[in-house]
Amino acid sequence: MNALEFMRRGELVRIEKFAPDTMLLEYLRLTEKSKGTKEGCNEGDCGACTVVLGTPDNGRVRYQAVNACILLLSQIHGKELITVDDLARGGILHPVQQAMVDAHASQCGFCTPGFVMSLFSLAHENRKITRQDVVEQIAGNLCRCTGYRPIIDAGLAACDSADDHWHKAQAEMCTKLRAIQGDLFVGDAHSFFAAPSTSEALADLCATYPEATIVSGCTDVGLWINKQMRAQPKIIYTGAAQDFAQIVDHGDHLSIGAGATYEDAFEAFGKISPDLSGLLRRIGARQVRASGTIGGNIANGSPIGDMPPALIALGATLYLRHGKSERAMKLEDFFIAYGKQDRKPGELVWRIDVPKAKSNQIFNCAKITKRRDDDISAVMGAFLFTIENEKIVAARIAYGGMAGTPKRATKTEAALIGKTPQEAMHIVLDDFEPLSDMRASAEYRSTVANALLHKALMQAAGETDLQVHI
Ligand X SMILES: Cc1cc2nc3c(=O)[nH]c(=O)nc-3n(C[C@H](O)[C@H](O)[C@H](O)COP(=O)(O)OP(=O)(O)OC[C@H]3O[C@@H](n4cnc5c(N)ncnc54)[C@H](O)[C@@H]3O)c2cc1C
Contact between residue 116 and residue 100 where contact means Cβ atoms under 8 Å apart = yes
Asked if residue 48 binds ligand FES (CB under 6 A), the reply is: yes
What does 215 interact with, of ligand FES, ligand X, none (CB < 5 to 8 A by kind)?
Answer: ligand X
Asked if residue 220 binds ligand FES (CB under 6 A), the reply is: no
Q: Distance between CA 288 and CA 311 in Å, rounded?
A: 20
Which one among 146, 273, 364, 459 touches ligand FES, defined by CB under 6 A?
Answer: 146
The residue (of 282 and 454) whose beta carbon lies closer to ligand X is 282
The residue (of 290 and 409) whose beta carbon lies closer to ligand X is 290
CB count, 10 Å around CB of 381? 29
Instruction: List, as one string, the DSSP characters of 248-314.
Output: EE-SSEEEEETT-BHHHHHHHHHHH-HHHHHHHHTSS-HHHHHH-BHHHHHHT--TT-SHHHHHHHT
- Distance between terminal CA atoms of the chain? 58
Q: Distance between CA 72 and CA 248 in Å, rounded?
A: 28
Q: Distance between CA 153 and CA 165 in Å, rounded?
A: 23
| Cβ 433 to ligand X shortest distance, Å | 22
**HSE-CB of 248 using CA atoms within 13 angstroms:** 9
Which one among 72, 119, 241, 288 touches ligand X, defined by CB under 6 A?
Answer: 288
Asked if residue 264 binds ligand X (CB under 6 A), the reply is: no
What does 295 interact with, of ligand X, ligand FES, none (CB < 5 to 8 A by kind)?
Answer: ligand X
What does 61 interact with, of ligand X, ligand FES, none (CB < 5 to 8 A by kind)?
Answer: none
| Cβ 469 to ligand X shortest distance, Å | 26
Cα four-point dihedral sign 283, 287, 288, 290: positive
- Residues that bind ligand X (rule: CB under 6 A) add up to a total of 31
Q: Which CA distances in Å does 132 have to 63, 96, 463?
A: 19, 18, 28
Print the binding letters for residues 64-103 with ligand FES: x by CB under 6 A, - otherwise. Answer: ---x-x----------------------------------
What does 69 interact with, of ligand FES, ligand X, none (CB < 5 to 8 A by kind)?
Answer: ligand FES
Report the largest interatomic distance among the alpha carbons of the chain, rounded to a whole angstrom: 73
**What are the helix (H) ranges across 27-142?**
95-102, 112-123, 131-137
Q: Which CA distances in Å does 105 have to 12, 101, 146, 153?
A: 34, 6, 6, 8
Asked if residue 404 binds ligand FES (CB under 6 A), the reply is: no
Contact between residue 39 and residue 29 where contact means Cβ atoms under 8 Å apart = yes
Contacts 24+ apart (CB under 8 A), 17-20: 17/186, 18/73, 18/74, 18/186, 18/193, 19/191, 20/72, 20/74, 20/186, 20/187, 20/191, 20/192, 20/193, 20/232, 20/233, 20/234, 20/235
Please give the backbone phi and psi of residue 43, each rounded to the nearest 5 degrees, phi first: -145, 25
| Cβ 227 to ligand FES shortest distance, Å | 12
Cα four-point dihedral sign 115, 121, 124, 125: negative
What does 258 interact with, of ligand X, ligand FES, none (CB < 5 to 8 A by kind)?
Answer: ligand X
Residue whose Cβ sits closest to ligand X:
296
**334 to 363, contacts with ligand X by CB under 6 A?**
348-349
Q: Distance between CA 443 and CA 20 in Å, rounded?
A: 44
What does 384 interact with, of ligand FES, ligand X, none (CB < 5 to 8 A by kind)?
Answer: none
Please give the backbone phi and psi of residue 231, each rounded to the nearest 5 degrees, phi first: -65, 145
The residue (of 146 and 261) whose beta carbon lies closer to ligand FES is 146
Asked if residue 74 binds ligand X (CB under 6 A), the reply is: no
Asked if residue 106 binds ligand FES (CB under 6 A), the reply is: yes
Asked if residue 284 binds ligand X (CB under 6 A), the reply is: yes
What does 417 interact with, of ligand X, ligand FES, none (CB < 5 to 8 A by kind)?
Answer: none
What does 112 interact with, of ligand X, ligand FES, none (CB < 5 to 8 A by kind)?
Answer: ligand FES
Which one among 47, 113, 295, 309 touches ligand X, defined by CB under 6 A?
Answer: 295
| Cβ 281 to ligand FES shortest distance, Å | 19
Which one among 7, 21, 24, 44 touches ligand FES, defined by CB under 6 A?
Answer: 44
Instruction: List, as one string, the DSSP characters of 317-341.
Output: EEEEEETTEEEEEEHHHHEEETTEE
Which one among 296, 303, 401, 421 touches ligand X, defined by CB under 6 A?
Answer: 296
| Cβ 100 to ligand FES shortest distance, Å | 10
Which one among 7, 24, 46, 157 touches ligand FES, defined by CB under 6 A?
Answer: 46
Which residues lie near ligand FES (CB under 6 A)?
39-42, 44-49, 67, 69, 106-112, 143-146
Which residues lie near ligand X (CB under 6 A)?
43-45, 70, 213-221, 238, 258, 283-284, 288, 291-293, 295-297, 299-300, 305-306, 348-349, 376
